[in-house]
Every structure is written in structure tokens, then in C-alpha cells.
A = this chain, B = another copy of it.
Amino acid sequence: MMQYKDTICAIATAAGNGAIAVIRISGSDSYGIVDKIFFSKSGKKLNALKANTIYFGEIKSEGKVLDEVLVSLFRAPHSYTSEDSIEISCHGSVFIQQQILQLLVKLGARLATAGEFTMRAFLAGKMDLSQAEAVADLIASQTQAEHSLAIQQMKGGITTEIQRLRDLLLNFISLIELELDFSEEDVEFADRNALSDLIVRAEKYLKTLIDSFAQGNAIKKGIQVAIIGKPNVGKSTLLNALLNEERAIVSEIPGTTRDTLEDTMIIKGLTFRFIDTAGIRHTTDVIENLGIERTHQSIAKADIVILVSEPNAPGFELMMQISDILNLNKKLIVAFNKIDVQSSHLIDTVFENDYKTVYISAKNRKNIEDLQNALLDFSDYNNLNSKDIIISNLRHFDALQNALQAIERVREGLETHISSDFLAQDIRQALHYFGLITGQITTDEILGNIFSKFCIGK
């Protein structure tokens, strides 16, 4: 693909001043361009130096020293992009970073677009498309769970099995298409029983992956939690107790405190996102009339609902609320608040298996951990180190659903003994959607969509 061979450059490290910054250059002219501005101690030209080695020297612009830098040399195909490429490690002043970048551009390099280095790696066959997508997820990962998902995907988690299914299906389809060549002779080269076994296996695998999306998506986007309950029951205090608990977990390493999004809590590497908290925080009696409608909206958006109640609330009314929420198919935690000031009478336990109950004091931060554990229990957080593959990418989810439909048509076709050409058509459909995931089938539009979500420099 010659159109990708021009030389691109970008600042690869985070924006702003740091001790050092790294500028990445990739493409056929990398060495030629950098040679014009980099002067090694030995005076040797870059082409005379070995790949995978590091050299100290000066970047000069019009005879003036711009910086003292290290350059790391990579040679095609043994680089990230599979092209000749160079990384310049300079002093981390934004001014210097920009000056070097401008020099490179002046000498003929082009500023890389978002994700262009990784796109080149994909186009060169260094990774499949789902692995390339995982690179962006990896960089964006903020929690243990997101990170595990991304690593799993980057390591080929989803594509290994899809590739295997694809190869097996390809084998069948070549046999079936052979049958079509001999269609007047009514032969069957493709063993229908073996194909049927394969289809069952594919169907099962696809369903498992599709089912995993709810969990993967929750990990990636955060698990939506709605806190509901009557006025003055302590919703706002509970929210603060939950969030402050989190904020109190100060990392032991100085400088490691990350920016916490407001109203977001991370428990054991999982992100919980409290929704519509503005409403909770600013609730007054005046606007309480709007409450019912808004509560319904919150519940609809939530993965998990925390219903806050006083321990001595009327049992019947509470059971009605619980029933309503469970009817909406939501995971429910009933949090009896103010246990240290009100006597609790245990509630009717008709649905006891369908929701969790905790007894807390939000004000005095009592048993908040029970509530956190209940959230964790509800979050289906299987250990991501297990072999279970979890998908978190909407594009994969769509392709897998389409693949499953095609596979189901194949199964039905086998059951109803449809003709080989229809069978072949459905298998081709399934292969198409498999190919979309791995990137064996792709379009500029798909690639554009995927890589535009990357940061520049990767």
C-alpha cells in the first residue's frame, strides 16, 4: 500500500512539559530527514549505525544547537510500524518539542494523524484490527478491569478463536463450492454432520461473546448506579459517603493521585458511575414534584439501583417499590439508612433472592463497605484473568450479532436441507462478519472511524 509510505512524525508522549518527551518518526525518509538535524558524537551518519541502538547527539537548526537528545533507531520491518523509524528523546520543554517537530515537517515529514502509526502497523500485518483497537483501549484504560480487557484483546483474545472458526468454515465452503461445480451429479464433498458440529460450536462461541458485551461495556463505560428513595432519607449523605470513601484511598506513591471524575467510584478496579446525582445533591421540597418522573428515568438508565429507605419505613409501601424496580429487570440493593438512630424491623423477605439488603449509617459511615461489596457482587466481575473472553467493543458486538444470525441461518439450512448454494451464501455472510472483526475485510471508512479515536503519536 504505497500511499502510506510517506514519512510521518508526531509527539508521542503526553502533552505539556515533562523531564523528557519523545518524538516519533516513521516512513521511508525517516533516516534521511533526521540525518539532516541530528549530529551524533561520533559524527557518523545514521545509515552507518545499527538498528535497535541508541545514540547521543545534538539536534541543530541552522547551525544552532536546539537540544541534546537520544535517538533510538529502528529498521524495517523490525519496528512498531514495520517501517524505518526513529524516536527522538528530547528535553521535555513544549518549546523544544514544537521546534523539533517543525524542523521535521520543514524537512519533508508530515504530521501523523490520530492512530496513524498503529494503522500502519495493522496495514503491514503486524497486528489484526481488533488488536489495533485494543491499543487505543489500553492507552485509555484507567482501571484494572479496563486494562485487563484491553490486554486480553491486544493479545489476540477474541480473534484467535474467530480465526480458527473462520479457517474451518473456509475449508467447508471450498468443499461446498466444489459441490456446486458438480451440482448435476448430486455429490456431497462437505460432511454435513461435521459442518453441523462446527456450526453448533460457532453458535455457542458467538453467543458467549455477545453475552459478555454487557459486562465488557459496563467495565469500559463504568457501571451505572442510580440512588433513589424518598426525600430526606439520606441519599445525598450516602453518595458523599461512597465517594469520600473512595477519595480517602490515597495511593502510597506521591504524585499518583489520578483525576477522579466527579461522582465516579472505583472499587477493586471497577468503575461505578452514579447517575443523575445533580438531582440528588440539589433536591429541595420545591422541586420534589418532579421527582417521580426523574426517578423513573434514573432507574431506566441504571445497571444497579440503590433504594435508600429508613429502617422503620412502612413495609407495604417499600415492598411495592421493590417490586416495581425488580419488574424493570434491574439489579437492586435496598439500603436501610440511619440504623444507628432508628430501630430496624426486618422487612418481608418475599423476594429475598432477587435483591440485596444492607443496613448502614451514611452519616456515620457505618457498613458502607457492605454496600460496596453488594455493588461488586452485582457487577458480574468475573476474574478477567480467567480464560473467559469478554468483548467491550461496540463494533465487535455488532459484527458478532450479524455473524450469529448468518450462522443460525446455516444451522436452519442444514436442518431443512437447503441447497448448497444457499448454504454457501450464509457461510460467506458469516465469514464476512468474522473478517470485519479481524480486519481481513475492511474499508477506508471503517479504518478511518477506528483510528480517528486514537491519540496522535500512536
A-side residues, CB < 8 A to B, are 10, 12-22, 24, 52-55, 64-68, 70, 72, 74, 87, 89, 91-96, 98-99, 101-102, 105, 111, 117, 135, 138-144, 146-148, 151, 154-155, 251, 253-256, 258, 385, 454-458
Contact partner, A64, options B67, B146, B385, Cβ 8 Å: B385
State in angstroms the CA–CA spacing of A127 and B385 once bound together. 48
State in angstroms the CA–CA spacing of A312 and B13 once bound together. 56
Contact partner, A17, options B64, B70, B140, B155, Cβ 8 Å: B140
A359 to chain B, nearest CB (A): 34
Q: Which residues of B contact A147 (CB under 8 A)?
A: 66, 93, 95-96, 99
Contact A14 B92 (CB under 8 A): yes
State in angstroms the CA–CA spacing of A407 and B161 once bound together. 81
Q: Which residues of B contact A455 (CB under 8 A)?
A: 17-19, 92
State in angstroms the CA–CA spacing of A143 and B74 once bound together. 32
Specify the chain B residue showing the minimal Cβ separation from A254: B111
Specify the chain B residue showing the minimal Cβ separation from A154: B68
State in angstroms the CA–CA spacing of A179 and B446 once bound together. 87
Contact A253 B98 (CB under 8 A): yes
State in angstroms the CA–CA spacing of A250 and B454 once bound together. 24
State in angstroms the CA–CA spacing of A72 and B55 once bound together. 11
Q: Which residues of B contact A13 (CB under 8 A)?
A: 13-14, 18-22, 92
Q: Which residues of B contact A144 (CB under 8 A)?
A: 95
Copies in the complex: 2
Contact partner, A54, options B53, B68, B95, B151, Cβ 8 Å: B53
A456 and B19 in contact, given A52-B54, A139-B93 (Cβ under 8 angstroms): yes
Contact B17 A14 (CB under 8 A): yes
List 20 extra interface pairs beyond A12-B92, A95-B146, CB under 8 A: A13-B92, A15-B16, A17-B140, A18-B139, A18-B455, A18-B457, A19-B139, A52-B53, A64-B385, A67-B138, A70-B72, A72-B72, A91-B139, A92-B455, A92-B458, A93-B140, A95-B147, A96-B147, A101-B256, A111-B254
Contact B19 A93 (CB under 8 A): no
State in angstroms the CA–CA spacing of A24 and B54 once bound together. 15
Q: Which residues of B contact A101 (CB under 8 A)?
A: 253, 256
State in angstroms the CA–CA spacing of A15 and B256 once bound together. 10
Contact B19 A256 (CB under 8 A): no
State in angstroms the CA–CA spacing of A99 and B66 once bound together. 34
Contact partner, A65, options B52, B54, B93, B155, Cβ 8 Å: B155
Contact B16 A16 (CB under 8 A): yes
Q: Which residues of B contact A111 (CB under 8 A)?
A: 253-255
Contact partner, A458, options B19, B99, B102, B258, Cβ 8 Å: B19
Q: Which residues of B contact A385 (CB under 8 A)?
A: 64
Contact B93 A72 (CB under 8 A): no
A431 to chain B, nearest CB (A): 30
A19 and B12 in contact, given A93-B138, A139-B93, A253-B102 (Cβ under 8 angstroms): yes
A15 to chain B, nearest CB (A): 6
State in angstroms the CA–CA spacing of A87 and B56 once bound together. 14
Q: Which residues of B contact A53 (CB under 8 A)?
A: 52-54
A142 and B254 in contact, given A19-B456, A20-B13, A68-B154 (Cβ under 8 angstroms): no
